[in-house]
Amino acid sequence: MTILIAAFFNAVMDRTGDVVAFRNSVFRHKNIRFWSKEISWAFAKKIFGWKFDAWHIAKSAMITLLIAGAVLYRPVFSPIPDFFIYGVLWNATFNLCYNKLLKSK
């Protein structure tokens, strides 16, 4: 489950990473100074040197979930088939989120 949520946050990162993707996202009506990394880098508040904007929050969440997935990993079949299964799940979740759920209508 953590890998699916991590893939979602990766899609959020890609939808907020530059102005073109941001303007074609469900976030387009939100504050660009927070939601588009291309703009927010100049305005983001820093907390202990960490930038507080949508892109950095999504990246931190993705990394945290990937680490949690590695720590909590229990084989479903065995590591090699699981590797491919999780890869397919990651790509399917990312593409669903990026191309459908987070894309503006």
User: Rounded distance, CA 45 to CA 90, Å?
Assistant: 31
Torsion of CA 4, 94, 32, 104, to 10 degrees: -120
Could you tell me the two tokens for 90? 């990651």
Tens of pLDDT, residue by residue over 49-97, are 899 999 999 999 999 999 999 999 999 999 999 999 999 999 999 999 9
What pLDDT score was predicted for residue 97? 98
Alpha-carbon dihedral angle through residues 3, 6, 11, 13, given to the nearest 10 degrees: -160
**pTM of the model as a whole:** 0.93
Q: What is the span of the domain harbouring residue 57?
A: 2-101
Tally of structural domains, the chain: 1
